[in-house]
Amino acid sequence: AGVLPRLEVAPGDVDVLREAARTCTACPLHGPATQVVFGEGPRDARIVLIGEQPGDEEDRAGRPFVGPAGAVLDEALREAGVDRASVYVTNAVKHFRFEPRGKVRLHQTPRARDVAACRPWVEAELAALEPEWIVCLGATAAKALLGATFRVTQERGVVRATAWAPRTFATWHPSAVLRAASEEDARAMRSELVRDLAMITE
Ligand code: URA
């Protein structure tokens, strides 16, 4: 992905962006996916959470983080003392990428070119929101915003300034907690996720 110019968007214009994104065909995912799942949350949100891409349930509902990963996220936010209603939640890629397998649609990680195609939307959301905090949930969002060599395992919870917010950091994706190799790993990742999210209330 090349470095794109920062888009000029009036503060709070996320509703305009959401409407414009509905017909986006910048990547091939718009064909099989049900709909664009744009970010949602208050126009004056101080905190933006960025996930990877909508999952099966999000694709059907048209809203981010409403499926199993969303349940983990909601609980982690609650424990961290962050009100989800005050947070803007979005994804690095706004269409569901999947492989049909009989009746089920198996999640596939978006390709770098899907992330690159969607990046102007993420940048426009951030330019419109001007948040104080950006939290990248997982590697896809972290690489999109913090660079292709970013490793969540090594740099989780490290807060830095970026072009879009004075405080940006990455943490575990809620799905990583669900996919953890053992109960013990899941517990550890979950508590790290909560601890990282609690930084934004300080
Ligand atoms: N996983 C994500 O990264 N985003 C969603 O919206 C749902 C699951």
pLDDT digit string (tens) for 32-61?
999 999 999 999 999 999 999 999 999 999
Mutate to test the pocket of ligand 1, among 48, 84, 175, 179 (most ligand atoms within 8 A of CB): 175
How far apart are the CA of 166 and the centre of ligand 1, in A? 24
Tell whether ligand 1 has an atom less than 6 A from the beta carbon of residue 174.
no
Banded pLDDT at 82 (limits 50, 70, 90): very high
In the chain, % of residues over pLDDT 70: 95
Q: In what order do the strands lie in the sheet with 167-171?
A: 87-91, 47-51, 133-137, 167-171
> What pLDDT was estimated at residue 13?
87
**Which domains are seen in the chain, by residue range?**
14-201 (3.40.470.10)
> What pLDDT was estimated at residue 6?
52
pLDDT digit string (tens) for 122-159?
999 999 999 999 999 999 999 999 999 999 999 999 99
Position 8 pLDDT exceeds 70: no
How far apart are the CA of 95 and the centre of ligand 1, in A? 10
Position 121 pLDDT exceeds 50: yes
Is the ipTM value over 0.85, yes or no?
A: yes
> What pLDDT was estimated at residue 14?
93
How far apart are the CA of 96 and the centre of ligand 1, in A? 9
> What pLDDT was estimated at residue 12?
72
76-84 — which CB contacts under 8 Å span 24+ positions? Answer: 76/174, 76/190, 76/193, 76/194, 76/197, 77/197, 79/194, 80/194, 80/195, 80/197, 80/198, 80/200, 80/201, 81/198, 81/201, 82/47, 82/197, 82/198, 82/200, 82/201
Q: Give the whole-angstrom CA distance, residue 194 versus residue 53.
A: 21
